[in-house]
């Protein structure tokens, strides 16, 4: 096989193939990823449209009637609509609660992800730009933090800071930024060693320019991949923290909080109160992961045939 | 002298997404006991694939589609794997190009040599160890006991290749295929390795196929030479004949492009053009696009002609000699 | 080799020191230091007495030194809830957590590596595709949800295994562990599986990637050219090469097992350190929280150190390079 020569472009290409189009066609090669992407789109859509497509706002106490509580899926609520997924202990329609919960889970996960990305990228670029000892110190800190599992870091922060949605987001951000910083730095290392950077530096281009024109564009692809997977982690992590009772408070009921609320009913057979929010969480996280996986395969130059 | 290896009409093709690559497309040669054959060609000519085909080490998407490989009279092309395993490392051994990549970095030298013996013979480990030690001594490695206990990265490139050669000779094979064994080494070490290999083959009567892109290497070593281009053998004959009176324009070009004392001050001859795209081979002679002597006749693939004991695939043999 | 160990030890000590600074300052500067160390329902007089007693009116550097000297003697404060030294409390609960973590690690390697090996050697078989799909699921499913499902399936529906608590303990090699009794094993199975799921997926993907990369290497081709059996090539040549990254990662993941055990222990009411931590956070038992954090840090540093040493034993290139250094 070592004797094979790569085909030279002798045959003309019929239509203009932009990088994006090629990327898109490669991405959709995987049926699983395509399905996952559609599912994810659907989930996001449902979450965004929640106030308009749910029969009940589960957090408007006027609409909730405790007499509706603990009804199995398919039962009819006092107000006359069907509770397709049943109701929880306080009488909230689970379908509505899940959709509203999705909003919170998604926004917390995505918000913390974006902030962590911004911070991580900034620090990573700073390290790449500064070089030398500064870079070493920054990277040691990054490595140190990465040697602890994100869940533990988040727990530590929650223990110190206390409860509240802003504190949770902060904890999630601190737990995640290091992954982004490391990704950026990895790209910086690779790019710095490439000859064109040396050439650019020889031409007297400022370091700042090198960082922004060369390193930044090249780290976007791996950042996207890391970002997708990390967002899934963040959502999962928030759910875990909320489930344990140290995450979001009851006033901001994400999916994790819903699952926690339903835990006590598990053993008595009223599974739907925990299971359905759990499934919603599951579908969200799995589809993000599948999309992220395919993104990684498509964007990773080393895996290309 | 009996034929150790007889290859006829061998075709090894690779069926890739982009198309079929005919890496080896119909070659014939014979190697006799104690002979050294030089297989010369540029990268992409199919010479390494030839070596792997003989040992049955062609992995999908490639396979031997046609042809016969007779080893000591028995047909081994596409033979079942257990049969091939018995031959490999035992009756036919291979030396690879870069010993750093081919020796497993996390295993000791003695482990890797002893296993080559124990895979084919049921003898005590100690005996195998002694044989390995003796083999290392034979290729000129000082203090072989120490080297045996070492790991590959602790040895120099030349020494690693000597280990590879010693390993190849461990089971006294009838044929050794050496795939560019000196390409990754310094020129001075190259000469030493070639010398060791030559000495051993003379001593043991082992046949050898020496694969290289460098004609100079096989000029002093091989008994006869086969020149490969784009999957076919274009010229074949006794070494002295081929070197002194090359007939194929490609061979002429190869020799002409070797710098030497006689040509000092003269411009080096360059073969124009580039190696062909294996996925889009021209019909007819594969070398025609780059050949100075090409004519419309070359649009048909030249058959093998026999000229004075030399096999040639060319419509226009260069009887005049080295090109100016 | 000893130089190597000493160097790593120094690095480890540095990290512990750093973390103690972070934890201490985090608790005392960010949080309200007094409320951190005083019971929530103390009155003003109590608070002032505590401030003086604990030296909180002294400069922060002095406080830190006090903290460190206390810590060196094993005194990390007393739990509000139990009244006992926090350190003692944690150490009391540690064996249960370790038991769980080791069981999970064992499961992860024993199940994950063979599956990954198979998936790497025969990537196109339907079983392999199933294994990889399963690994993605195992990777994505939140641990606590899996725990819920496990309980629902095995304990509630099928009734095969108990859903909560730790079983009876016996002795293996002088250590008291619940793995020694049948009852203990039945109790540990579900939580260990729950904890291990993530790591099994990781082990599968690691092993498979390692195998696929190794099989393409020249040394495998060379081994085949020597006529070695496939069995020997896979189990000696390939395995030794991929065990290095696998061991490293799995070893480092052991630490995260300890961390994740928090979730599993809460669901299965397993009496380990993790459950202690969660209860402490919810009940504002801060000395226990601080003590737990310090212990965990120590643990991590130790694990990193051990893995580093193990790595150097397995990869001769690292060991010999360090010896020369």
**Rounded-to-integer distance, Cα C163 and Cα C301, Å:** 33
Closest CA to A140 of C282, C220, C14, B209: C14
Stretch B129-152: mean pLDDT: 88
| Residue C260 touches chain A, beta carbons under 8 Å | yes
- pLDDT tens per residue, chain C (325 residues)? 677 778 777 777 777 777 777 777 666 655 555 555 556 666 777 767 766 665 556 666 776 776 677 766 666 666 666 667 777 888 888 888 888 888 888 888 889 888 988 888 888 888 888 888 888 888 778 888 888 888 878 777 777 777 777 777 776 666 667 676 777 777 788 888 888 888 888 889 888 888 888 888 888 888 888 888 888 888 888 888 888 788 778 877 887 788 778 888 888 888 888 888 888 777 767 677 777 877 887 777 777 777 777 777 766 666 555 444 3
* Residue A51: per-residue pLDDT: 78
* Residue A7: per-residue pLDDT: 44
At A5 the three-state DSSP class reads coil
Spell out the alpha helix ranges (H) of chain C: 2-25, 33-37, 44-53, 60-72, 86-121, 126-140, 143-150, 182-215, 218-225, 230-232, 239-268, 273-282, 286-314, 316-324
**Rounded-to-integer distance, Cα C201 and Cα A235, Å:** 19
Q: Which helix (H) or strand (E) holds C176?
A: strand C175-177
C201, exposed or middle or buried, with CB in 10 Å at 0-12, 13-18, 19+? buried
What band does B209 get if pLDDT is binned at 50, 70 and 90?
A: very high
* Residue A13: per-residue pLDDT: 43
Q: Do A4 and B278 touch (CB under 8 A)?
A: yes
* Residue B176: per-residue pLDDT: 92
| Residue A271 touches chain C, beta carbons under 8 Å | yes
Stretch B22-37: mean pLDDT: 89
pLDDT over 50 (residue A303):
no
pLDDT over 80 (residue B73):
yes
**Rounded-to-integer distance, Cα A181 and Cα C205, Å:** 24
* Residue C131: per-residue pLDDT: 86
C59, exposed or middle or buried, with CB in 10 Å at 0-12, 13-18, 19+? exposed
| Residue C151 touches chain A, beta carbons under 8 Å | yes
- Residues in A 96-155 with any Cβ partner in C closer than 8 A: 144, 147-149, 151-152, 155
**Rounded-to-integer distance, Cα C78 and Cα C84, Å:** 5
Size of interface B-C (CB pairs under 8 A): 75
Nearest to B275 among A2, A5, A305 (CB): A5
Nearest to A159 among C259, C281, C304 (CB): C281
In angstroms, what CA-CA distances link A114 with A129, A234, C62? Answer: 22, 11, 40
Identify residues of C whose CB sits under 8 angstroms from chain B CBs: 217-219, 221-229, 232, 236-237, 240-241, 244, 314-317, 320
Size of interface A-C (CB pairs under 8 A): 100
**Rounded-to-integer distance, Cα C26 and Cα C33, Å:** 9
Closest CA to A94 of A255, A265, A283, A284: A255
The two structure tokens encoding residue C233: 């090539």
Q: Residues B279, B21: contact at Cβ < 8 Å?
A: yes
- Contact residues, chain B, for C320 at CB < 8 Å: 151, 153-154
Pairing between β-strand B175-179 and β-strand B224-229 as defined by DSSP bridges: unpaired
**Rounded-to-integer distance, Cα C119 and Cα C126, Å:** 10
Helices and strands in chain A: count of H runs, count of E runs: 12, 2
* Residue B265: per-residue pLDDT: 66
Q: Which helix (H) or strand (E) holds B95?
A: strand B92-95
* Residue A123: per-residue pLDDT: 87
* Residue B37: per-residue pLDDT: 92
Which has the minimum average pLDDT: A168-182, B4-18, C296-310? C296-310
Question: Quick one: closest CA in C to B88, which residue?
Answer: C227
pLDDT over 70 (residue B264):
no
Q: Do C222 and B96 touch (CB under 8 A)?
A: yes
**Rounded-to-integer distance, Cα C127 and Cα C167, Å:** 35
A191-250: per-residue pLDDT in tens? 766 656 666 666 666 666 666 776 777 778 788 888 888 888 888 888 888 888 887 877
Rounded to a whole number of angstroms, the distance between the first and last alpha carbons of chain A is 13
The two structure tokens encoding residue A212: 């922004």
Which has the minimum average pLDDT: A9-13, B208-212, C33-37, C129-133? A9-13
Stretch B128-140: mean pLDDT: 88
pTM here is 0.72
Q: Do C262 and A155 touch (CB under 8 A)?
A: yes
pLDDT over 70 (residue B324):
no
- Complex ipTM value: 0.81
Count of CA atoms in the C-beta half-sphere (13 A) of C3:
7
* Residue B20: per-residue pLDDT: 86
Nearest to C255 among A149, A162, A281 (CB): A149
B288, exposed or middle or buried, with CB in 10 Å at 0-12, 13-18, 19+? buried
Rounded to the nearest 10 degrees, the angle between the axes of helix C239-268 and helix C86-121 is: 130
At C160 the three-state DSSP class reads coil
CA distance C173 to chain A (A): 31
Q: Do A3 and B23 touch (CB under 8 A)?
A: yes
Q: Do B23 and A4 touch (CB under 8 A)?
A: yes
Pairing between β-strand B92-95 and β-strand B175-179 as defined by DSSP bridges: parallel
* Residue A10: per-residue pLDDT: 42
């Amino acid at each position: 096989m070592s004797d094979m020569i790569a085909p030279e472009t002798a045959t003309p290409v019929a239509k203009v193939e932009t990088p994006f189009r090629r990327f898109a066609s490669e991405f959709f090669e995987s049926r699983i990823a395509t399905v996952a992407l559609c599912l994810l789109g659907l989930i996001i859509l449902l979450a965004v449209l929640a106030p308009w497509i749910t029969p009940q706002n589960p957090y408007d106490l006027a609409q909730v009637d405790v007499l509706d509580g603990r009804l199995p899926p398919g039962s009819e609520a006092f107000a006359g609509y069907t509770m397709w997924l049943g109701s929880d202990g306080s009488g909230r329609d689970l379908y509505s609660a899940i959709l509203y919960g999705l909003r919170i889970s998604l926004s917390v996960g995505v918000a913390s992800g974006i902030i962590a990305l911004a911070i991580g990228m900034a620090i990573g670029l700073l390290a790449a730009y500064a070089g030398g000892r500064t870079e070493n110190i920054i990277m040691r800190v990054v490595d140190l933090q990465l040697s602890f599992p994100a869940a533990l870091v988040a727990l530590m922060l929650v223990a110190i800071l206390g409860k509240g949605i802003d504190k949770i987001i902060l904890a999630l951000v601190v737990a995640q930024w290091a992954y982004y910083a490391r990704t950026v730095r990895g790209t910086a290392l690779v790019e710095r060693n490439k000859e064109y950077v040396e050439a650019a530096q020889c031409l007297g281009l400022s370091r700042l320019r090198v960082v922004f024109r060369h390193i930044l564009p090249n780290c976007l692809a791996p950042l996207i991949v890391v970002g997708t997977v990390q967002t899934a982690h963040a959502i999962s992590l928030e759910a875990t923290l909320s489930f344990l009772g140290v995450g979001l408070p009851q006033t901001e009921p994400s999916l994790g909080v819903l699952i926690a609320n339903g835990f006590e009913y598990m053993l008595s057979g009223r599974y739907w109160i925990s299971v359905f929010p759990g499934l919603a969480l599951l579908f969200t996280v799995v589809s993000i992961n599948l999309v992220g996986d395919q993104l990684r395969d498509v964007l990773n130059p080393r895996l290309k045939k | 002298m009996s034929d150790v290896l007889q290859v006829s009409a061998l075709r090894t093709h690779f069926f890739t997404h982009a198309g079929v690559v005919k890496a080896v497309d119909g070659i014939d040669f014979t190697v006799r006991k104690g002979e050294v054959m030089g297989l010369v060609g540029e990268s992409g000519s199919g010479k390494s694939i030839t070596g792997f085909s003989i040992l049955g080490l062609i992995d999908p998407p490639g396979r031997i589609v046609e042809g016969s490989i007779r080893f000591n009279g028995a047909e081994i092309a596409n033979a079942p794997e257990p049969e091939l395993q018995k031959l490999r490392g035992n009756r036919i051994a291979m030396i690879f190009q870069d010993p750093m990549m081919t020796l497993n970095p996390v295993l000791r030298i003695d482990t890797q040599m002893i296993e080559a013996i124990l895979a084919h013979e049921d003898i005590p480990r100690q005996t195998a160890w002694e044989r390995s030690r003796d083999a290392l001594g034979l290729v000129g490695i000082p203090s072989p006991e120490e080297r045996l206990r070492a790991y590959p990265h602790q040895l120099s490139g030349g020494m690693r290749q000597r280990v590879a050669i010693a390993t190849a000779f461990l089971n006294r094979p009838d044929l050794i295929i050496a795939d560019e064994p000196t390409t990754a080494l310094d020129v001075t070490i190259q000469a030493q390795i070639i010398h060791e290999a030559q000495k051993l083959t003379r001593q043991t009567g082992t046949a050898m196929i020496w694969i290289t892109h460098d004609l100079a290497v096989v000029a002093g070593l091989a008994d006869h030479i086969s020149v490969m281009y784009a999957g076919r053998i274009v010229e074949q004959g006794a070494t002295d004949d081929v070197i002194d009176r090359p007939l194929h324009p490609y061979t002429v070009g190869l020799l002409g492009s070797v710098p030497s004392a006689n040509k000092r001050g003269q411009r080096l001859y360059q073969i124009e053009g580039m190696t062909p795209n294996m996925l889009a081979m021209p019909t007819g002679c594969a070398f025609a696009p780059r050949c100075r002597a090409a004519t419309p006749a070359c649009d048909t693939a030249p058959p093998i002609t026999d000229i004075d004991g030399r096999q040639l695939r060319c419509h226009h043999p260069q009887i005049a000699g080295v090109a100016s | 080799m000893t130089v190597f160990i000493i160097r790593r030890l120094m690095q480890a000590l540095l990290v512990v020191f750093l973390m103690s600074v972070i934890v201490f300052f985090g608790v005392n500067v960010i949080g309200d230091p007094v409320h951190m160390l005083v019971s929530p329902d103390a009155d003003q007089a109590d608070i002032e007495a505590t401030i003086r007693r604990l030296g909180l009116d002294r400069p922060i550097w002095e406080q830190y030194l006090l903290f460190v000297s206390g810590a060196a003697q094993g005194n990390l404060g007393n739990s509000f809830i139990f009244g006992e030294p926090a350190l003692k409390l944690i150490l009391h609960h540690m064996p249960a957590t370790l038991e769980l973590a080791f069981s999970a690690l064992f499961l992860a390697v024993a199940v994950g590596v063979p599956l990954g090996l198979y998936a790497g050697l025969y990537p196109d078989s339907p079983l392999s595709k199933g294994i990889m799909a399963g690994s993605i699921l195992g990777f994505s499913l939140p641990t606590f949800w899996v725990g819920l499902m496990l309980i629902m399936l095995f304990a509630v529906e099928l009734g095969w295994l108990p859903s909560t608590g730790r079983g009876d303990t016996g002795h293996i090699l002088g250590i008291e562990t619940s793995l020694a009794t049948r009852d203990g094993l039945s109790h540990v199975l579900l939580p260990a599986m729950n904890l291990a799921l993530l790591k099994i997926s990781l082990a599968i993907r690691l092993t498979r990637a390692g195998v696929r990369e190794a099989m393409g290497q020249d040394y495998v081709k060379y081994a085949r050219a020597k006529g070695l059996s496939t069995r020997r090539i896979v189990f000696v040549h390939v395995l030794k090469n991929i065990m290095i990254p696998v061991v490293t990662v799995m070893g480092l993941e052991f630490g995260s097992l300890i961390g994740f055990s928090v979730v599993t222990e809460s669901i299965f009411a397993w009496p380990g350190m993790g459950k202690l931590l969660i209860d402490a956070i919810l009940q504002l038992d801060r000395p226990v929280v601080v003590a737990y954090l310090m212990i965990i840090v120590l643990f991590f540093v130790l694990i990193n150190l051990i893995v580093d040493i193990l790595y150097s034993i397995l990869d001769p290139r690292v060991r010999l390079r360090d010896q020369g250094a």
